[in-house]
Amino acid sequence: MSGELLSYSEASAIVVSFARGLSRSRLEVERVELGSASGRVLAEPIVADQDQPAFARSTRDGFACRAAEASRHEFLPVAGATHAGEAPAGPLPVGAAWEIMTGAPVPAGADTVVMIEHVERDGKRIRMLSKRSTAAGDNIVGKGAQARQCDELVSAGTLGGPAQIALAAACGYARIAVYKRPCVAILTTGDELVPVDRETGPGQIRNSNAPMLAVLVKAAGGEPRVLPTAVDTAEALNAALHQAMEADLLLISGGVSAGRFDLVEPALARMGATFHFTGVRIQPGKPLVFGEVQRAAQSSLPFFGLPGNPISSAATFLLFAAPVLAALAGGSEIGPQFVAAQLARATERKAKPGLTRFLPGLCDFNPPSGGLAQVATVPWHGSGDLPAFARSNCFVVVPEDVSSLDAGAMVRILML
């Protein structure tokens, strides 16, 4: 591909539209125990099996009564009591109150619950304290107020988190359908790489991208499959790419810059790849490549060629590969989730304008001031500086048209 490089937002729009175009219908589904659905994408909606609540429920310990009667502040005889777990009782006799516990069904005829702390007792009678008032509906959640039987409460494609699992349990799902995790092939390339359990020789470095990308893939809902590292030769890359063809997504690290041994693009081209873009105006990560290789008639393998420097690989994964992976996993939320934070210190722009920058930053979500989350960029020696990266917990976004950011400015950050 020649000509002008795409901006961050242009490249991001291409990735998001590709991701949205992936159809969920071809995804495989499995049924898992509800507790194992955490972090999985739901493949079926959560549907209310009955009204929620199924009965008018008291939200307080107190006395169910009629608001009009209680508001006279006269003693009302206590005609009965209902505990949580007991069947709905009543009806409430006229001019009476009914002792009730949190979570218990409100007896028919009562329209309010007066908190136990707001009444005075005289034997088997109670009266609302003179400084208190009550109105119909207070401390009662009506039958079906939260949801109606057969309502779809959460749609398929939602990530299973604690709230969704609690809701599914409330609706009687002991097992639930989730999408199978997409298989993500991770191919690291480079003559200089040695595995983590080997000593490095002169000029060699350990392959840190393979384990880093594997955990990023897991965190984004994929099943990583780390392939043997390929050396920088056309033959090695050809063989490695063939091994990756069964995966749902291919991540290649290294070999996409403009150097003489950056052989990944030609190897992909030999496989008949279509390139959606080669290079983006971002820093780090400018050489990023995105495309797909056709395999069977109806199926293609999407791939990202991630620049080999570890911070570039991480940033481009989170910004571009994670959204595609989220869609392949069946998720409906696919864009990177930026959050806002306040810049603790001014940041000067060192790079050329026109590049959107993603600087390693450390965000303090509980600053001593008690105010907004405070983020500061972490001093670094470029995109290979793993010690600096390990002191950060996010990327700070510096938009392409911004030359410097003052302390106190609101910025977008992307969490690691």
Task: Select from 31-39, 40-48, 75-83, 254-262 the region that touches Mg ion (CB under 5 A).
Answer: 254-262
- Structure tokens given for 352: 């050329």
CB-based contacts of 368, cutoff 8 Å, min separation 6 = none
Q: Which does 257 bind (CB under 5 to 8 A by kind): ligand AMP, Mg ion, none?
A: ligand AMP
Compute the distance between CA of residue 410 and CA of residue 416 in angstroms, rounded to an integer: 19
Residue 254 lies near Mg ion (rule: CB under 5 A): yes
- Structure tokens given for 322: 């994670």
Q: Cβ distance 262 to 256 under 8 Å?
A: yes
List the one residue from 45, 93, 137, 384 that touches ligand AMP (CB under 6 A): 384
Compute the distance between CA of residue 89 and CA of residue 273 in angstroms, rounded to an integer: 70
Q: Cβ distance 310 to 209 under 8 Å?
A: yes
List the one residue from 52, 207, 316, 377 that touches ligand AMP (CB under 6 A): 207
Compute the distance between CA of residue 170 and CA of residue 155 in angstroms, rounded to an integer: 16
Q: Cβ distance 414 to 395 under 8 Å?
A: yes
Residue 283 lies near ligand AMP (rule: CB under 6 A): no
- Structure tokens given for 57: 């429920």
The interface mask with ligand AMP, positions 237-256, x = CB under 6 A, is: ----------------xxxx
Nearest distance, CB of residue 290 and ligand AMP, angstroms: 15
Sort 203 into a burial class: Cβ within 10 Å, 0-12 / 13-18 / 19+. exposed
Q: Cβ distance 157 to 331 under 8 Å?
A: yes
Residue 302 lies near ligand AMP (rule: CB under 6 A): no
Nearest distance, CB of residue 189 and Mg ion, angstroms: 6
The interface mask with Mg ion, positions 282-311, x = CB under 5 A, is: --------------------------x---
Which has the closest alpha carbon to 185: 220, 222, 221? 222
Q: Among residues 55 and 261, whose Cβ is nearest to ligand AMP?
A: 261
Compute the distance between CA of residue 379 and CA of residue 361 in angstroms, rounded to an integer: 9
List the one residue from 67, 97, 128, 193 that touches ligand AMP (CB under 6 A): 193
Q: Among residues 186 and 359, whose Cβ is nearest to ligand AMP?
A: 186
Q: Among residues 142 and 382, whose Cβ is nearest to ligand AMP?
A: 382
Q: Among residues 43 and 263, whose Cβ is nearest to ligand AMP?
A: 263
Residue nearest to ligand AMP (CB): 308
Size of the site for Mg ion (CB under 5 A): 4
Angle, CA 404 vertex, CA 398 and CA 409 arms, to 5°: 75
List the one residue from 53, 157, 190, 222 that touches Mg ion (CB under 5 A): 190
List the one residue from 160, 221, 307, 330 that touches ligand AMP (CB under 6 A): 307
Residue 192 lies near ligand AMP (rule: CB under 6 A): yes
Q: Among residues 193 and 324, whose Cβ is nearest to ligand AMP?
A: 193
Residue 336 lies near Mg ion (rule: CB under 5 A): no
56 to 75, contacts with ligand AMP by CB under 6 A?
Answer: none
Q: Where are the beta strands (DSSP E) in 24-146?
A: 29-33, 46-47, 57-58, 62-65, 76-82, 97-100, 112-115, 119-122, 125-128, 140-141
List the one residue from 107, 190, 330, 331 that touches ligand AMP (CB under 6 A): 190
Nearest distance, CB of residue 323 and ligand AMP, angstroms: 22
- Structure tokens given for 404: 């410097």
Q: Cβ distance 66 to 134 under 8 Å?
A: no
List the one residue from 134, 209, 316, 347 that touches ligand AMP (CB under 6 A): 209
Q: Among residues 79 and 315, whose Cβ is nearest to ligand AMP?
A: 315
Which has the closest alpha carbon to 262: 226, 232, 224? 232
The binding site for Mg ion (CB under 5 A) comprises 190, 254-255, 308
The binding site for ligand AMP (CB under 6 A) comprises 188, 190, 192-193, 205, 207-210, 253-257, 259, 262, 307-310, 384
